[in-house]
Amino acid sequence: MGLFDFIKGQFIEVIEWLDDTGSMVYRFPVYDNAIKMGAKLVVRESQAAIFVNEGQIADVFGPGTYTLSTQNMPVLTALKSWKYGFNSPFKADVFFVSTRNFTQLKWGTTNPVLMRDAEFGMVRLRGFGNYALKVNDPALFLKEIFGTQQDFSAENVAGYLKSVIVSGVSDLLGESKIPAIDLAASYDELSRAAADKLQAHFMAMGLWLTALTIENISLPEEVEKTIDRRSSMNIAGNLDQYMKYQTAEALREAANNPADGGAGTGIGLGAGMAMGQAMSQMMRQNEQQNGANAGGTPGAGSGGGAAAPGSGSAASERAAQVGGVSDGGGTAAAKKFCSECGQPLAPNAKFCSNCGTKV
């Protein structure tokens, strides 16, 4: 330092801090770290000042203006310190500490946390959120965290605080026994419980955890896909009806897109076959039900006791027609019907044109 700095350093200081850096702590720079007797200290709102005199915390000041008392006299102390190279042995420092609320600090799990869930078994969870803090005990904060650094920000301690929060939240989730599928409905309750649980850790550092928010707790991608498939099945409801609906939709799409070429034709044929099988099954079920209803009901006779047309079952009528009995009682050409669906057959047909059954 030059002569000009030495002369300037002999004036009595006015010590203040305009908090425009976003720092939590700021050490006021003084020539030779020797604050003079009678120096004025100005502390603003949302600030606290720690006066360290000769290596020890002398006092902590709140908002206001104060006069400091040290053994450093202007000019005289410097001259008496010639044997120390004009370096005063009576060191004094002032540390300004911001007591405002520091918000929008982030926390999150670096690695998944292994949890035991009642429904899914062993699952890995990831979570993240925000937290806010403020300095509650400036002197304890100086001793435990920032020491004698020139300045100190929340980012300097954010890594350690994040690990403390993740550890506390993970322990809380394990103790709560809340199913993973129901965690989203308990974010607020878990956030408050986590803040209460972690408060003691923050107070031991001179800090106060003013807020903690859980934004999201997520399951692994594989588990989420399984949940999506299960949800789709639940939404579909009756799978039989759902398949019929999908078949009908495929037929409609194939009919509306005749220019899709061979691929579209193949899809349409496949959907048509599936639809035909479904329709055949439905018709067989209906016939069986009608046969069961009509089998125990005797038909009404006519004249010579022959069964009147329509009085017996559909199968009986088809059998009579195949045997050559016409409605008028005369002999007619034999007419064949499909044994599966009842569709009339051509005289020389080998397969049913409706259901494809071999004749």
| pLDDT confidence band for 128 (50 / 70 / 90) | very high
User: Can you spell out the DSSP letters for 215-255?
Assistant: EEEE--HHHHHHHHHHHHHHHH-SHHHHHHHHHHHHHHHHH
Work out the pLDDT band at 313, boundaries 50, 70, 90: very low
Mean of pLDDT over the chain: 75
Give residue 198's pLDDT: 94
Percentage of residues in the chain having pLDDT higher than 70: 65
Q: pTM of the full predicted structure? A: 0.58
Cα(313)–Cα(293) distance, rounded to whole angstroms?
Answer: 9
Residue 33 has what pLDDT? 72
Spatial distance between the Cα atoms of 57 and 139, rounded to a whole number of angstroms: 8
The kind and range of the H/E element at 293 are helix 261-295
**pLDDT score of 318 more than 60:** no
**pLDDT at position 266, please?**
56
Q: Would you say residue 175 has pLDDT above 80? A: yes
Would the pLDDT of 211 be above 50? yes
* pLDDT tens column, 335-345: 777 877 777 87
pLDDT of 111 reads 83
- Rounded to whole angstroms, the maximal C-alpha distance in the chain is 150
For residue 91, name the pLDDT band (cuts at 50, 70, 90): confident
Residue-level pLDDT at 311: 42
Integer Cα distance of 129 and 106 in angstroms: 6
> What distance in Å separates the CA atoms of residue 319 and residue 325, rounded to the nearest whole number?
9
Confidence band for 162, pLDDT divided at 50, 70 and 90: very high
**Under CATH, which number does the domain 102-223 receive?**
3.30.479.30
The answer, yes or no, to whether residue 249 has pLDDT greater than 60, is yes
Identity of the highest mean pLDDT range in 44-58, 112-126, 214-228, 248-262: 44-58
| Choice among 14-23, 186-195, 303-312 with the minimum mean pLDDT | 303-312
pLDDT beyond 80 at 350: no
131, 129, 156: which is closest to 141 by C-alpha? 156
Q: pLDDT at position 177, please?
A: 83
Q: Mean pLDDT, to the nearest integer, of 151-178?
A: 88
Interval 195-221 mean pLDDT: 92
Q: Specify the range with the lowest mean pLDDT, choosing from 139-148, 216-225, 313-322.
A: 313-322
